């Protein structure tokens, strides 16, 4: 009888544990469903607006005077880049989650990659009257996947442009550390409240401050940057002060030029500067 009672108690304990586990699974499933619904709603809204603008200006481009076409083409290019960034962010996060990203790392001249990233955002920079001040030594090399590094820079630059005040400046610098390179991207924008800082790299995070929420976006860009930096073995962080701006910094493995071509590119860039 005693044995039967012990077995019954053990069975009841096990059943209770299973019920608790099932309830946790149900809660997690509901949370996942809520995230999916939020994502679909945000993505639909985020994609619809630039698409509408693109179609509108594309129609205007057909009928406008010659001297207006360059302006409309610039607007179309800006919103096309916005769409590309959104799609790239969605696909990249999906690949990170699935463990499908294979980095093709090589020795890359950092200044060259940063200059290309800045140039790709030229229309957005010009539309807000922003100046980019770059202080990246031409002899700094990082070991990275060129395409993924370009995406990291695109997301961080997009964030800096979005929150910078019109007519302001974005500063980029890079400094060698022992085995890595530290890259800083500074803006003079609205800044991030201290209580928001621990959450800025979370997916879909929009900020509780109404001033931050007024800026559109899926809240994926910084999550993408974080995921890709960490895949490279680096770290990413942010420092900010309300109404004074923010500095996002990340590290990548340091590398040396590994070909004669790298050395020639470095020498050529040094002469041009």
CATH code for the domain in which residue 87 is found: 1.10.287.130
Residue 166 DSSP SS3? coil
Q: Do 170 and 135 fall into the same domain?
A: yes
If asked whether residues 143 and 81 sit together in one domain, one would say no
- What's the number of domains the chain is made of? 2
pLDDT of residue 89: 81
Residues 61 and 126 occupy one common structural domain: no
Q: Please indicate, yes or no, whether residues 130 and 263 belong to a single structural domain of this protein.
A: yes
* Lowest mean pLDDT segment, chosen from 89-93, 100-104, 118-122, 176-180: 89-93
Give residue 189's domain range.
105-272
163 and 126 in a common domain: yes
pLDDT reported for residue 264: 45
pTM score of the predicted model: 0.71
Whole-angstrom Cα distance, residue 61 to residue 55? 10
- pLDDT in the model for residue 69: 77
Q: Are residues 257 and 149 in the same domain?
A: yes
- Round to whole Å and give the CA distance between 100 and 153: 21
Read off the CATH number of the domain in which 147 is found.
3.30.565.10
Q: Could you tell me if residue 139 is left (phi over 0), alpha (psi between -120 and 50 degrees) or otherwise beta?
A: alpha
Structure tokens at 159: 């964030």
Q: How far apart, in Å, are the Cα atoms of 139 and each of 109, 135, 136, 217, 228? A: 7, 12, 9, 36, 23
Residues 170, 246, single domain; the answer is yes
Residues 83 and 144 in one domain: no
Q: What's the pLDDT band for 148 if we cut at 50, 70, 90?
A: very high
Same domain, residue pair 91 and 118: no
Same domain for 112 and 42: no
Mean pLDDT of 128-157: 95
Same domain, 92 and 162: no
């Amino acid at each position: 009888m005693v044995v039967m009672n012990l077995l019954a108690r053990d069975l009841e304990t096990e059943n209770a544990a299973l019920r608790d586990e099932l309830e946790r699974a149900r809660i997690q499933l509901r949370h996942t469903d809520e995230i999916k619904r939020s994502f679909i709603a945000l993505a639909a809204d985020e994609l619809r607006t630039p698409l509408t603008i693109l179609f509108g200006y594309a129609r205007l481009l057909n009928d406008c005077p010659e001297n207006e076409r360059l302006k409309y083409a610039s607007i179309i290019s800006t919103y096309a880049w916005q769409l590309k960034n959104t799609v790239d962010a969605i696909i990249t996060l999906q690949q990170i989650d699935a463990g499908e990203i294979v980095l093709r790392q090589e020795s890359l001249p950092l200044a060259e990659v940063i200059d290309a990233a800045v140039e790709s955002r030229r229309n957005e920079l010009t539309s807000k009257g922003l100046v980019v001040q770059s202080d990246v030594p031409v002899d700094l090399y990082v070991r990275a996947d060129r395409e993924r590094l370009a995406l990291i820079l695109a997301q961080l630059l997009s964030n800096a442009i979005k929150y910078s005040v019109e007519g302001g400046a974005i500063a980029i610098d890079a400094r060698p550390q022992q085995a890595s390179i530290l890259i800083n991207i500074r803006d003079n924008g609205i800044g991030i409240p201290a209580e928001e800082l621990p959450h800025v790299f979370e997916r879909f995070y929009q900020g509780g401050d109404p001033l931050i929420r007024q800026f559109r976006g899926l809240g994926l860009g910084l999550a993408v940057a974080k995921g890709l930096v960490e895949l490279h073995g680096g770290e990413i962080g942010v420092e900010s002060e309300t109404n004074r701006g923010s500095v996002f910094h990340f590290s990548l493995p340091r590398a040396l030029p590994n070909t004669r071509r790298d050395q020639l590119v470095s020498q050529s860039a040094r002469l041009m500067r």
